[in-house]
Amino acid sequence: MEREQHELYEYARRRIKQKKGLYFHFVLLFLASLFLFVSTKLFNFGIDSNWHIYLITAWFFIFLLHFIKVYITDRFMNKNWEREQIDRLVALQKNKIAEIQSQITEDTSI
């Protein structure tokens, strides 16, 4: 039971670390976007082009990928999913080995 509790604790700790990183990413994106927008408009820096909009859009796309990883991918493909997949693959391998062994015994008995 102690091992299970430790695994649950480690999973919770890892998820909290992921969410904390995502929130930090969002705050950094927001502040940097605000800074880029204000500096461009206030100081007329690069006013002839909208380079800051392209940069913010690209950064927002990267943030969306980070969000999808934390809240969608890692949420469903967690430790339980990994265990189920491993158990399924091990069972398939055992069946295949049993099949091959039965073929070998049939071939040797003939």
pLDDT tens figures, 43-63: 776 667 778 888 899 999 999
Say which residue the tokens 């859009």 belong to: 57
Q: Please list the alpha-helical segments (H only) found in 1-110.
A: 2-42, 51-68, 74-76, 79-109
pLDDT at 33: 92
CB 52 within 8 A of CB 40: yes
| C-alpha distance from residue 42 to each of 27, 37, 75 (Å) | 22, 8, 42
If one compares 81 and 59, the residue with the highest pLDDT of the two is 59
Task: Give me the pLDDT at residue 1, please.
Answer: 59
Q: Which of 56, 76, 58 is nearest to 68 (CA)?
A: 76
* Contact assessment for residue 11 and residue 79, using Cβ atoms and an 8 Å cutoff: yes
Please give the Cα distance from 91 to 97 (Å, whole number): 10
The pLDDT tens digits of the residues spanning 84-106 come to 888 898 998 999 998 988 888 88
| pLDDT value, residue 9 | 86
Q: Is 54 within 8 Å of 110 (Cβ atoms)?
A: no
Report domain extents, the chain: 2-77
